[in-house]
């Protein structure tokens, strides 16, 4: 099978990371760059070695573009993704797929209408690490899952730019809160629960008095007998550990999200008398998610199994509620 020719829409930092990852892809190659500004697209294309550049519309309408990665600001994800889908292109969209449940649903409807896949790019989902966590939970080795503890936080170098701009969907919840929330959604599903039933039982946090964006936030999610405690921050480092507690043992991953270049690669299964340390191969998670989209398109699927649409809907709904509970 010929390798898919990728177009990157957007010219920011995450677009650069994705471009650097594509040589590690098995199913795709870098081909084009699109931007709202054709001159900026051309400069970025020359920098990263893409052959083609132009405006978003120019690029998505090209016959020699097989797949699209949306790397624009959060508030334009839905618009840009839907335009690419309407042009018949499979879409890998940087997380969050859109900054609301309504917009997320609109993108999924557009993908159904276009009969093309769209995949939300929570990169950790596409790795051997996540595959093995899923297998351990489904095996029943730690018993019924009762608690999840997950967080993601860092200290931004300044309180300026996109992260602190409410008009660009800034804030901790949309920037990194989706990681612990989407992990809770997946773990609930692997544990045999309906993630659509996850509700935000309680939430608290801090809102920046100048910008009005949420900068540090915590929430308690509940479905059935399962409780997930999640946290996000853009003003202080938080543990990146994921801890999954069952009624017969627990899984503890010291670093659940990996890095931009390497996936998380280890966790412990702690069961009385039968614990184990699991070490897994590392992969480039951006290349892995790129290959997942291409594989979905080749198989005629609308979604990648690693990130089903119901997970995207559930995650978006929880993020909406979490922000609303902080007055956002």
Task: Give pLDDT tens digits for 20-61.
Answer: 999 999 999 999 999 999 999 999 999 999 999 999 999 999
Provide CB contacts within 8 A for 214, sequence distance 6+: 171, 172, 173, 205, 206, 207, 208, 323, 326, 328
Interval 254-263: pLDDT, tens: 999 999 899 9
Q: Where are the domains of the chain?
A: 4-123, 125-284+293-325
Does residue 95 contact residue 121 with C-beta atoms inside 8 Å? yes
Find, among 48, 96, 87, the residue nearest to 68 by Cα.
87
Residue 1 in this model has a pLDDT that exceeds 70: no
Neighbours of 138 (CB within 10 A): 12
In the prediction, which pLDDT does 275 show? 82
> Could you tell me the pLDDT band of residue 277, with boundaries at 50, 70 and 90?
very high
Please indicate whether the domains covering 4-123 and 125-284+293-325 agree at the CATH topology level.
Answer: no
Helix axes 309-325, 178-190, angle to 10 degrees: 130
Specify the CATH class of 125-284+293-325 in words: alpha beta
The rounded Cα 51 to chain-centroid distance in angstroms is 28
Helix (H) or strand (E) holding 252: strand 249-253
SS3 83: helix
pTM of the model: 0.96
| DSSP β-ladder status, 226-233 and 67-70 | unpaired
The arrangement of secondary structure in 4-123, i.e. its CATH architecture, is 3-Layer(aba) Sandwich (3.40)
Question: Is the pLDDT score of 2 beyond 90?
Answer: no
Q: Is 103 helix (H, G, I), strand (E, B) or coil?
A: helix
């Amino acid at each position: 099978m010929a390798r898919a020719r990728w177009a990157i829409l957007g010219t920011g930092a995450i677009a650069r990371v994705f471009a650097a990852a594509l040589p590690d892809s098995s199913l795709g190659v870098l081909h084009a760059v699109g931007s709202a500004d054709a001159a900026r697209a051309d400069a970025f294309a020359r920098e990263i070695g893409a052959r083609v550049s132009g405006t978003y519309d120019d690029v998505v309408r090209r016959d020699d573009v097989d797949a699209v990665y949306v790397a624009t600001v959060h508030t334009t994800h839905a618009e840009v993704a839907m335009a690419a889908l309407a042009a018949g292109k499979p879409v890998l969209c940087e997380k969050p797929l859109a900054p609301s449940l309504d917009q997320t649903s609109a993108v999924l409807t557009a993908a159904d209408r276009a009969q093309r896949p769209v995949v939300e790019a929570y990169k950790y989902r596409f790795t051997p690490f996540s595959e093995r966590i899923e297998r351990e939970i489904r095996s029943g080795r730690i018993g019924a899952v009762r608690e999840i503890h997950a967080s993601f936080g860092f200290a931004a170098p300044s309180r300026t730019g996109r992260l602190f701009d409410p008009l660009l969907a800034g804030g901790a919840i949309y920037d990194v809160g989706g990681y612990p929330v989407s992990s809770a959604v997946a773990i609930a599903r692997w544990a045999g629960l309906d993630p659509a039933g996850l509700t935000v039982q309680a939430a608290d946090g801090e809102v920046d008095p100048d910008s009005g964006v949420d900068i540090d936030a915590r929430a308690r999610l509940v479905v059935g007998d399962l409780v997930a405690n999640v946290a996000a921050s853009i003003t202080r480092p938080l543990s990146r550990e994921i801890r999954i507690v069952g009624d017969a043992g627990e899984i503890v991953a010291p670093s659940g999200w990996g890095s931009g270049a390497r996936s998380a690669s280890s966790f412990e299964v702690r069961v009385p008398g039968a614990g184990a340390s699991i070490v897994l191969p590392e992969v480039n998670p951006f290349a892995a998610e790129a290959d997942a989209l291409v594989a979905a398109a080749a198989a005629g699927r609308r979604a990648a199994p690693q990130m089903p649409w119901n997970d995207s809907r559930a995650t978006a709904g929880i993020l909406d509620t979490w922000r609303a509970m902080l007055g956002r």
